Amino acid sequence: MKRDESKKGLLTSVINAIKRYGMIQRDDGVVVAVSGGPDSTALMHILNMLKVEMGFWMVPAHLDHRLRPESDLDVEFVREMSSKLGLEAQVKVVNVRDLAARRGISLEEAGRGARYAFFDEIRASSGARVIATAHHMDDVLETFFLRIFRGSSLKGLTGIAPTRAGIVRPLIETSRARIIRFLEEEGIPYRIDPTNLDISSDRNFVRNRLIPTIEEHFLNFRKPLKRTIELLGEEEQFVKEMAQELYSQAISRSEAGLEMSLPGLRSASRVLASRAILLALYTLSGPDVRWTRSHVETIWKLLRSASPSAVAHLPGGLMVAREYDRLVISKGTVTELTPQPVILISGPGTVEVPGTGHILRLQLREREGMRLQEYDGITAAAFDADEVSFPLTVRNPLPGDRFKPWGLQGTRKLKKVLIDLKIPRDLRKKLPLLLKGDTILWIPGVRRSDTAPIHSATRRVLEVSIAWVNHDPSRDSA
């Protein structure tokens, strides 16, 4: 193939990819990530050849990682290349080794984070819309093999997306061989990173050993394998949409964070439930935390456990708590609620319990003519007034509290009573208790005690009931 035809074919292929995936629009600004290697150098020149025809403008950006002694030469190369194309390169130096040590992460992760943070800075300051990187077809295939060997999910096997969150990859349908041929035919120099030849790294082994071996037996394997990856991508999109639907049905926002319905997740397939859980984790943490199968498995065990109450701590400062038929994922750690002050009740009247939204009403009545069946022990209760004379107190539960439930013999630990009644953990600590001395008379809204029951000799009755702040009784029948 003649040089001009080869160049025209490459440019047409890149234009088609840009249009197919909607990468760059007319009047867009494009931050071009340039390392000086063959791929990014080709990207720079190809986009420069297309910018007038497609109506966009460019800003080259180079991050010096300070990982190699010759990195200064890379900077100089990028500056000079940009200048020859009539562009001014934006350059920043970051000591990635120090950054990785400070954050306790790998060099690769630190470098990637630093690069994209810098590119985002340039995008914001220049007014550009997208960041263009030089990932190509071979990068997609290498990533596919690497993820197979690491036991990736369907999502991971879809490889490198053509576009993602403002990042575009115009060379995604171009092979490395075609990129090198373009540079050689056009006489365009580029830098070589010698570390790319070191097969001790997984990617370099796949690139320099595995793919050439495959190519010996399957000469044209790239296009059919890329088609397989695209089909996996379509199936991944279908599963993603199904998981999003499950998420909207079984997971909701709460004051603490996100609340999951156990019946909703249990009734779904494990694949979709796991996806919905991952979506919930990323919703709270953002993209900076890497969630893995082990994290999802931790939540799955809580979801399937026979225990009604459990807590697990996750990376990124997240906590997941099981409360009977729900899971709550929240930011922060478990902290004890600040106990509300003890409220002294010296006589009949109305008492608002701070921090709970509860109102307690207490009144004394004559025993004669009372219908005791009206007192359900939940919203209202009646006690022998001579056995529970004022003053009374109201406070939150405390460790060691014991309670004598109505109709049962002896006292039991209050915590155990509330667990048996399936009162959620976060609500248990907020419940107001009505006491005479150290004896719990009533857990308003839950259950009365067996203390001071009404009997034939009772003359006066202490009637207590619970209401809520701003409660509108007219709406009870709605």
pLDDT at site 335:
43
Of 148-157, 200-209, 224-233, 314-323, give the range with the top mean pLDDT. 224-233
Place 332 in a pLDDT band, splitting at 50, 70 and 90: low
Q: Is there a common fold for 3-219 and 229-331?
A: no
pLDDT at site 338:
44
Q: What value does the mean pLDDT take over residues 73-78?
A: 92
Q: What value does the mean pLDDT take over residues 30-46?
A: 95
Place 478 in a pLDDT band, splitting at 50, 70 and 90: very low
Percentage above 70 pLDDT, the chain: 91
Place 115 in a pLDDT band, splitting at 50, 70 and 90: very high
Q: What value does the mean pLDDT take over residues 361-385?
A: 81
Place 357 in a pLDDT band, splitting at 50, 70 and 90: low
Place 418 in a pLDDT band, splitting at 50, 70 and 90: confident
Among candidate residues 385, 376, 350, the one with its CA nearest the CA of residue 463: 385
pLDDT at site 187:
94
pLDDT for 362 beyond 80 = yes
pLDDT for 34 beyond 50 = yes
Could you state, in order of their start, the residue ranges of all structural domains in the chain?
A: 3-219, 229-331, 343-475
Place 30 in a pLDDT band, splitting at 50, 70 and 90: very high
Fold of 229-331: 3.30.465
Among candidate residues 357, 406, 403, 359, the one with its CA nearest the CA of residue 379: 359
Among the residue ranges 80-94, 196-210, 319-333, 408-422, the one predicted with the least confidence is 319-333
Q: Which residue has the higher pLDDT, 250 or 377?
A: 250
pLDDT for 457 beyond 80 = yes
Q: Which residue has the higher pLDDT, 195 or 86?
A: 86
Instruction: Kindly report the average pLDDT of the chain as a whole number.
Output: 85
pLDDT at site 35:
92
Each residue of 175-221: pLDDT tens digit?
999 999 999 999 999 998 777 766 777 888 999 899 999 989 998 89
Q: Which residue has the higher pLDDT, 264 or 422?
A: 264
Each residue of 275-286: pLDDT tens digit?
999 998 888 888
pLDDT for 69 beyond 70 = yes
Please count the other Cβ atoms lying within 10 Å of the Cβ belonging to residue 149: 10
pLDDT at site 475:
35
Q: Which residue has the higher pLDDT, 200 or 83?
A: 83
Q: What value does the mean pLDDT take over residues 378-400?
A: 87
CA 178, 183, 187, 192 torsion-angle sign: negative
pLDDT at site 144:
92
pLDDT at site 305:
75
Each residue of 424-439: pLDDT tens digit?
776 777 788 999 988 9
Q: Which residue has the higher pLDDT, 391 or 316?
A: 391
Q: Which residue has the higher pLDDT, 269 or 399?
A: 269
pLDDT for 339 beyond 80 = no
Q: What value does the mean pLDDT take over residues 67-78?
A: 87
Q: What value does the mean pLDDT take over residues 453-469?
A: 84
Place 55 in a pLDDT band, splitting at 50, 70 and 90: very high
Each residue of 237-265: pLDDT tens digit?
999 999 999 999 999 887 778 888 888 88
The CATH classification number of 3-219 equals 3.40.50.620
